[in-house]
Amino acid sequence: MSFDLESLMEARQGENFKLHQEFLNPQLARVLKTLGFDRFYEKGEGCYLIDRNGDRYLDFLSGFGVYALGRSHPVVKKALHDALDMDLPNLAQLDCALLPGLLGEALVGTMHEGIGRCFFSNSGAEAIEAAIKFSRYATGRPRVLYADHAFHGLTNGALSLNGGKEFREGFGPLLPGCDPVGFGDLQSLERELRRGDVAAFVVEIIQGKGVYLASDEYWAGVQRLCRQYSTLFVADEVQTGLGRTGRMWAHEHYGLHPDIVTVSKALSGGYVPVGATACSPEIFDRVYSKMERAVVHSTTFGRNQLAMVAGLATLQTIDDEEIVDRARLSGEVFEKALAPLVEKYELFHEVRGKGLMIGLVFGEPASLRLKARWKMLEGARKGLFSQLVVGPLFNRHRILTQVAADNVNIVKLLPPLICGQEEIDYFVEALDDVLGDAHRNSALVFEFGKTLAKSALHR
Ligand SMILES: Cc1ncc(COP(=O)(O)O)c(C=O)c1O
């Protein structure tokens, strides 16, 4: 029997969780089932996922920020169809193909003029691995600094720059010479830089785990100190890049000129994994300094044609559809629409972020009635309340969101950048309903929380 995708999926539909339990990650399947996230999605379309019953789910997670253009964008889809139909000579390897050159040119063209070259890989973590290696080699220094709460991926090098112990525990020893500094704390940064052995400070401009921001003064100080101590300033824009925060690159909000910029997620168009490490020609030329070193850092699939096509079509579409401006404007609309809920609900403390990278921060309520229950919940499992928001948003309102990090009551929204008034209104109404319930029927909600805490999530 020849391979036929449609009939295969038709024949095996509904077995997805069972297969994951048996052959992939049973714990993940278990967590998702416990939270009620067990669905069989059949289609992705713009801001929506559609399950086998035809139910539509508003996707405010966007594959962790991949779907800037929404799902199944027709331009990217057509470009990929075209590429397949053209039978492009992919991965000749001993070749300088046209498409990687074009994507390099286009990507560099979106950045400040100090950035002149790109290295292509397959993921955000790989983009970071390249940044670590390039920085060490170009400076001849061993150490790399990262910030509290940082997340740069989970390969060994990227994990060595991870600010959360829950990810690191048991995987050591990690890379030597990698040390944390406080996010937003210039003193701790300078203390480390002063030692004169720091190759790079790798930092997200808005931190993904928790949606933490730092002040204008901090960023100006970071750049100044990095220059002063000849340390490379690496902006990890894997999540924040390509319009997510209402500017093409989040570092533009602060007028920064990082030496290295890492890119991934949205560049894929949601179809083909890709990572990019963009840097100054000086850094690049130090690493690839002579012909013998031409492949000193490389990866088999790094410049694969389909990824390059997806990247090119994505960049063109960001331009054509004015995606960056739309993200900025929708972000403003979102913030305004959420403000009354912060007023209305004592558990809802703050909305923060930029553009369409939004953190909803929940915290201890003021009234005695709710305070006691909140404390009980926090005692059972820290950060559980945010799960009690994400759960009903999904199960009752069919909106996919995520808890921003372990042990914090922050819900993160990463809507597709094409979302508009309709999606924003729908979300705000749903959140109002969920928080209203938490306030009104607190006993019920908090009891459910306790049950959750005791169940699979804990084990
Ligand atoms: C800022 C940042 N850097 C790096 C990564 C790692 O990317 P990947 O999961 O593609 O390895 C992520 C992933 O979420 C990220 O948010």
Q: Is the pLDDT of residue 88 over 90?
A: yes
Share of the chain above pLDDT 70, in %: 97
Among 274, 303, 376, 379, smallest CA distance to 98 is for 303
The strand pair at 410-413 and 357-362 is best described as antiparallel
80 CA from centroid of ligand 1 (Å): 24
Give dist(CA 126, CA 156) in Å, integer: 10
Share of the chain above pLDDT 90, in %: 88
59 falls in which pLDDT band (50, 70, 90)? very high
Reported as a single tens digit per residue, the pLDDT across 201-247 is 999 999 999 999 999 999 999 999 999 999 999 999 999 999 999 99
| Closest ligand 1 atom to Cα of 265 | 10
Q: Is the pLDDT of residue 453 over 90?
A: no
Residues in the chain: 459
Average of per-residue pLDDT across 358-382: 90
* Residue entry with tokens 């990463």: 414
Q: Which two tokens stand for residue 171?
A: 């995987």
Give dist(CA 170, CA 192) in Å, integer: 26
Q: Whose CA is nearest to atom 6 of ligand 1?
A: 153
Give dist(CA 31, CA 27) in Å, integer: 6
Q: Which two tokens stand for residue 40?
A: 């069989």
Give strand pairing partners of 236.
204, 262
CB–CB of 190/225 below 8 Å? yes
368 falls in which pLDDT band (50, 70, 90)? confident
Average of per-residue pLDDT across 72-81: 98
422 CA from centroid of ligand 1 (Å): 29
CB–CB of 279/259 below 8 Å? yes
Q: Helix, strand, or coil here: 256?
A: coil
CB–CB of 256/223 below 8 Å? yes
Among 321, 303, 305, 240, smallest CA distance to 75 is for 321
Average of per-residue pLDDT across 304-323: 98
456 falls in which pLDDT band (50, 70, 90)? very low
Average of per-residue pLDDT across 350-359: 98
Give strand pairing partners of 45.
48
Give dist(CA 239, CA 210) in Å, integer: 13
262 CA from centroid of ligand 1 (Å): 10
429 CA from centroid of ligand 1 (Å): 31
203 CA from centroid of ligand 1 (Å): 12
239 CA from centroid of ligand 1 (Å): 7
Ligand 1 mutation pick, 152, 207, 213, 249, max ligand atoms within 8 A of CB: 152
Q: Is the pLDDT of residue 292 over 50?
A: yes
* Residue entry with tokens 């749903």: 430
364 CA from centroid of ligand 1 (Å): 30
Reported as a single tens digit per residue, the pLDDT across 383-437 is 989 999 999 999 999 999 999 998 899 999 999 999 999 999 999 999 999 999 9
The strand pair at 357-362 and 348-354 is best described as antiparallel
Helix-helix angle 74-85:305-320, to 10 degrees: 150
Residue 317: per-residue pLDDT: 98
Q: What residues does ligand 1 touch, defined as CB less than 6 Å away?
A: 64, 123-125, 128, 151-153, 204, 208, 236, 238-239, 264
| Contacting residues for 310 by C-beta, under 8 A, at least 6 apart | 76, 79, 80, 267, 268, 269, 271, 272, 274
More confident residue, 446 or 330: 330
Q: Whose CA is nearest to atom 8 of ligand 1?
A: 124
Give dist(CA 297, CA 319) in Å, integer: 31
Give dist(CA 243, CA 266) in Å, integer: 9
Ligand 1 mutation pick, 61, 62, 121, 151, max ligand atoms within 8 A of CB: 151
Q: Whose CA is nearest to atom 16 of ligand 1?
A: 239
Give dist(CA 113, CA 413) in Å, integer: 32
| Closest ligand 1 atom to Cα of 125 | 11
Please state the pTM of the whole predicted model. Answer: 0.96
Half-sphere exposure of 195 (CA within 13 A, CB side): 15
Helix (H) or strand (E) holding 399: strand 399-400
Ligand 1 mutation pick, 238, 261, 262, 268, max ligand atoms within 8 A of CB: 238
Among 328, 317, 226, 258, smallest CA distance to 112 is for 258
Q: What are the helix (H) ranges across 117-212?
A: 124-139, 156-159, 165-168, 186-193
Q: Whose CA is nearest to atom 13 of ligand 1?
A: 153
Give strand pairing partners of 200.
144, 232
Half-sphere exposure of 429 (CA within 13 A, CB side): 9
| Closest ligand 1 atom to Cα of 128 | 4
Reported as a single tens digit per residue, the pLDDT across 242-264 is 999 999 999 999 999 999 999 99
Strand locations in 207-347, DSSP E? 232-236, 260-263, 275-279
Ligand 1 mutation pick, 234, 265, 277, 402, max ligand atoms within 8 A of CB: 265
Give dist(CA 257, CA 113) in Å, integer: 9
443 falls in which pLDDT band (50, 70, 90)? low
| Contacting residues for 37 by C-beta, under 8 A, at least 6 apart | 394
Reported as a single tens digit per residue, the pLDDT across 122-146 is 999 999 999 999 999 999 999 999 9
Reported as a single tens digit per residue, the pLDDT across 11-52 is 999 999 999 999 999 999 999 998 899 999 999 999 999 999
Residue 447: per-residue pLDDT: 62
Give me Rg for the CA atoms of the chain. Answer: 23
Q: Helix, strand, or coil here: 49?
A: strand
Domains and CATH numbers, the chain: 16-69+323-458 (3.90.1150.10), 74-320 (3.40.640.10)
459 falls in which pLDDT band (50, 70, 90)? very low
Give dist(CA 391, CA 385) in Å, integer: 10
| Closest ligand 1 atom to Cα of 240 | 1
208 phi-psi bin (left φ>0, alpha ψ -120 to 50, beta other): alpha
202 CA from centroid of ligand 1 (Å): 13
Give dist(CA 288, CA 389) in Å, integer: 50
Q: Helix, strand, or coil here: 95?
A: coil
